[in-house]
Every structure is written in C-alpha cells, then in structure tokens.
Structure 1
C-alpha cells in the first residue's frame, strides 16, 4: 500500500505541475515549486501515518473517486470537482505568471497562504484519527462497520474535514499569488456546502444515529456560523 501511496502522490503532483507550469509558461515560479513540495511532503506524512494506524482508511483514501456504492449525485459532483480543480490551477498559472493580471502579493500574504495549506492537512490528521470512515466519496461503508462518529473535532462541527478544506481554498491562491484564483473561493465554498447537505441527507436516512447526531451538533463547518 505504501508503494501505491507514493505512486499516486507523485502522479498527482506531476499533473498539478504540468497544469501550473504549463499555464505559467515557465518553470521559474518558486511559489509553485514550494506549493507542490509542501503538499507532497504533508500528503506522504499523513499517508505514512495512516498506513501505520489505520490502513483501512488509507485504502479508502487511495480508492478511485468513482465507486459502485457511491451516490449517483456524488459521482457527478466528483467529476465536476476534478474539472474545476484543473481549471483553477490553470487560471492561477495564467494570472500569476503568464499575464500578470494580479499585482504581486506581499510576502506576508504568501506566507499566510502557505500556513493555511499546512493547517488544512495538519487538521486532517485529527479528523482521520477520530473518524476511520472519512472516505473521499459519499457512501455507507457497511463492510467496515460504518457508525456515527461524534468525538474529536466531530464534537464541534459535523464536517471538520470540509472546514479544513476552507483553509486550503484560501491558502492556495494566496501562496501562488493569484487574486483571480482567490475570487473563485466563494463558489467553491458554496459547492462544498451543497455536498455537505447532500451527504447529511444520505447519512440521516441510512446510518443509524446520524439524525440524532445532527440535533446534538448544530453546525456544519464553523461553530456559531454554519
């Protein structure tokens, strides 16, 4: 499984690199190199941790984004996400380096973006430690004894991984120096919220105890906000 983890991580980084540097028209983009290095190191770190502490969850995280048990609407969502993700990287490469539509961001904002990316992946470790069913697709994992998780970060919000993703959405365009990329963040947050609502409907109808959990933990992403 470790070989698969390393292989998929390298392939993912290679695809992102082609999109970013291809759109930028140059390899002389230090922020993009740092972005790929940061994601690569942190992804392998959390992957190696999962391989030791929860190999079943790691197998789920490495599984294809299209699965037989997956909800039909979530398959459509994942296809759209993949296309939007690629377009987002291309847009930021065009903006930050090829055409310079955005004014250069101050070092403080770029550093803040890097911190947000780090915090996103770091927070995911706490999510994975609490929830062994945190698969990337929406489905009921009957074969793995799927049950409601209400400990750790799930005691405060119903979707702590999505909450962490908000940091990633903000951090990526800041680190890469693209205001145009940053303008896409609200739409991405709305899309993530739409998925969270759909996921909750499925879990409430098919997973014992989830409807009660929703009454105990009121907020989805951010306490006292939503």
Structure 2
C-alpha cells in the first residue's frame, strides 16, 4: 500500500509538472516548484496517515475515477472536471510565465496562496477522520457498510471536503501568480456545487437517513451562506 501511494503521488506530481512547465516554457519558475513540493509533502503526509488509520479509505482514494457502481452523470462530471483541471494548470503556466498576461502578485498574496493550499489538505484530514466513505466518486459503498456521517465537520456543512476545495481553487492560482487562474476559480466552484446537488439527490434516494441529515444540517459548503 505504501509503495503504491508513493508511486501514485510521484506520477501525479510528474504529470502536473509536465503541464505547468510545458505551458510555461521554462523550468525557472520557483512558485511552481514550491507548489509541487508542497503538494507532494502534504499528499504523502495525509496518505501515510490514512495508511495507518483507514487503509480502506486510502484504497478508495487511489482507485480509478470510473467505477461500475458510479452513476453515469458522475462519470461525465469526473471526466469534464479532469479536462478542466488540466486546462487550468496549462492556463496558469501560459499566464504567469510564458506570456505574462498577469502582473506579478505581491509576496503576501503568493504566501496566502500557499497557506490556502495547506489549509485545504489539513481540512481534508478532518474529513477523512470523520468519514471513512469519502471516495473520489459518487457511489453507495454497500460492501463497506456505507452510512450517513454527521460528526466532525459534517455537523456544520454537508460537503466539508468541497468546502476545503474552495480554498484550493483560490490558493493554487495565487501561489502560481496567475490572475487568470483565479478568474476561472468561480467557474470550478460552480461546477463542484452542481455536483453536490446531484450527489445529494442520489444519497437521499439510496442512503438511509440522508434526507433527515439534510434537514438537520442546512448548509452545503459554507455556514450561513450556502
């Protein structure tokens, strides 16, 4: 499991590096190097923690993004989100380094971006500790005894991992120095919101107690907002 985690993390880092540096046209991009280092360290940190405390969830997190139990609409979403993600990285490389469409960001904003990325992964640890069913695809995990989780961060919002992703959408372009990347972040957040709505419909129909849970916990992403 540990070897697979390391290989999985390394493959993603290499792939992201190819997209970022390929679009930038140079390896002389300190912010991108820091981004990959931060992502690598944090990913291994949370992966090693899962390997010790919840190997079943780690296996789910490293599984393929198209699965037999997964609904067709979620397969379409995951595919579209993957394409959007790759395009987002390429856009930020073109913007921040190759064509310099964006003016350089102040160091304070770049540091804020790094902090947001850290907080996203840190928040995900609390999500994984509370919810052993936090798979990357929308499905009912009957073989693992899927049930409604309403403890930890789920006592405040119904999709705390998506809440953490909002920080990631803000932090990544700030850290990489791309105003254009930041401008795309709301579009990605809207896409995640649409997935949350569809996911809740499915869970309310197929998972016992989920409809009651949505009545108790009113907010999806951000308390008192949505």
TM-score (norm 1): 1.00
Aligned to 1:139: 139
- How does 1:143-222 map onto structure 2 within 5 Å? 143-222=143-222
- Residue 173 of structure 1 aligns to a residue whose secondary structure is helix
- Residue 215 of structure 2 aligns to a residue whose secondary structure is helix
CA distance in 1, matches of 2:28, 2:116: 23
- Residue 134 of structure 2 aligns to a residue whose secondary structure is coil
Q: Residue 173 of structure 1: CA displacement?
A: 0.2
Q: Residue 225 of structure 1: CA displacement?
A: 0.1
CA distance in 1, matches of 2:172, 2:40: 14
Matched, 1:86 2:86: yes
- Residue 202 of structure 2 aligns to a residue whose secondary structure is helix
- How does 1:2-151 map onto structure 2 within 5 Å? 2-151=2-151
After TM superposition, what 4+ stretches of structure 1 lie above 6 angstroms from structure 2? none
CA distance in 2, matches of 1:154, 1:86: 30
What per-residue deviation string (whole Å, max 9, x for no partner) do you get for residues 117-175 of structure 1?
00000000000000000000000000000000000000000000000000000000000
Q: Residue 57 of structure 1: CA displacement?
A: 0.3
Give aligned pairs, total.
226
What per-residue deviation string (whole Å, max 9, x for no partner) do you get for residues 33-69 of structure 1?
0000000000000000000000000000000000000
- Residue 184 of structure 1 aligns to a residue whose secondary structure is helix
Unaligned 5+ segments in structure 1 are none
CA distance in 1, matches of 2:81, 2:191: 9
CA distance in 1, matches of 2:157, 2:186: 20
Matched, 1:225 2:218: no
CA distance in 1, matches of 2:86, 2:133: 27
What per-residue deviation string (whole Å, max 9, x for no partner) do you get for residues 92-137 of structure 1?
0000000000000000000000000000000000000000000000
Q: Residue 208 of structure 1: CA displacement?
A: 0.1
CA distance in 1, matches of 2:149, 2:176: 35
Unaligned 5+ segments in structure 2 are none
